[in-house]
């Protein structure tokens, strides 16, 4: 692979990642995601004002969950099975 083609490949990969991050941040907003993000912003403000590190960690977790639409359960971790056992 020539250096020029490596450069094009690198730019292509960066553009794909940018599009993915943009769609992740801008799509699929629901009320819970909005509440997590707003709570994270408010708690971060309070943590900075009171100089509390542990509260800032909580704010970072809430902001991460709200902005990137991640839950504490992981992918399908909180789902309940539909099977009914007798």
In tens, the pLDDT along 4-61 reads 566 666 666 667 777 777 777 777 788 888 888 999 999 999 999 999 999 999 999 9
**Residue 36 belongs to some domain of the structure:** yes
Domain count along the chain: 1
Residue 81 domain-assigned (yes or no): no
Whether residue 12 is contained in a domain is answered as no
Per-residue pLDDT tens over the stretch 55-68: 999 999 999 888 88
Q: What is the DSSP letter of 33?
A: H
Within a domain: 43:
yes
Question: Would residue 10 count as lying in a domain?
Answer: no
Q: Which domain holds residue 55?
A: 29-68
For residue 49, being part of any structural domain is answered with yes
Residue 64 domain-assigned?
yes
Provide CB contacts within 8 A for 72, sequence distance 6+. 65
Closest Cα partner for 68 from 13, 29, 31, 35?
Answer: 29
Residue 8 lies in a domain: no
């Amino acid at each position: 692979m020539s250096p020029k083609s490596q450069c094009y490949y690198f730019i292509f990969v960066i553009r794909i990642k940018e599009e993915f991050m943009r769609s992740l941040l801008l799509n699929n907003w629901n009320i819970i995601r909005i509440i997590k993000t707003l709570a994270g912003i408010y708690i971060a403000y309070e943590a900075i004002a009171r100089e509390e590190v542990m509260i800032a960690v909580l704010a970072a977790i809430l902001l991460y969950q709200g902005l990137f639409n991640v839950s504490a359960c992981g992918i399908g971790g909180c789902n309940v099975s539909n099977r009914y056992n007798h």
